[in-house]
């Protein structure tokens, strides 16, 4: 299971448990040597989980759709021009209501810079529904 939690100082706040890696954990793509997918596979296969080491501060920003229809994305070239950035499109065949459709991920030397980059990446991605 993927267990989602948030840290604030010395406090850990539980969020949810899901039977698969969760999109909020995609920040591991930019922050550490073991992504959530690699860790999930190791857990399922009963393999040891190696020590996890932070490589760079990273942040993620959800890219949302609003309304009903088939999502189409634009602005990806500009989004990926942001240094140390990734965009993951979830491949959902349709949007109904308010739904996460993608995530912007960015890393940097500082958490503040990573957060700024992730927001910059997300701001370039446009979702239109057909």
pTM as predicted? 0.78
Question: Is the separation of the CB atoms in 4 and 40 below 8 Å?
Answer: no
Tokens for 7, please give them: 């840290």
- Least-confidence region, from 39-43, 69-73, 96-100: 39-43
The residues pairing with 87 across neighbouring beta strands, listed in sequence order, are 104
State what percent of residues in the chain have pLDDT above 90. Answer: 57
The pLDDT score that the predictor gives to residue 53 is: 85
């Amino acid at each position: 299971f993927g267990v989602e939690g948030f840290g604030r100082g010395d406090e850990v706040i539980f969020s949810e448990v899901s039977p698969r890696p969760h999109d909020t954990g995609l920040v591991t793509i930019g922050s550490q040597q073991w992504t959530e997918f690699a860790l999930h596979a190791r857990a399922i296969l009963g393999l040891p989980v190696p020590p996890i080491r932070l490589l760079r501060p990273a942040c993620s920003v959800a890219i949302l759709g609003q309304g009903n229809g088939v999502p189409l994305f634009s602005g990806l070239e500009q989004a990926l021009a942001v240094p140390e950035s990734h965009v993951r499109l979830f491949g959902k065949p349709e949007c109904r209501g308010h739904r996460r459709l993608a995530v912007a991920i960015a890393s940097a030397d500082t958490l503040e810079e990573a957060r700024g980059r992730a927001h910059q990446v997300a701001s370039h991605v446009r979702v239109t529904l057909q």
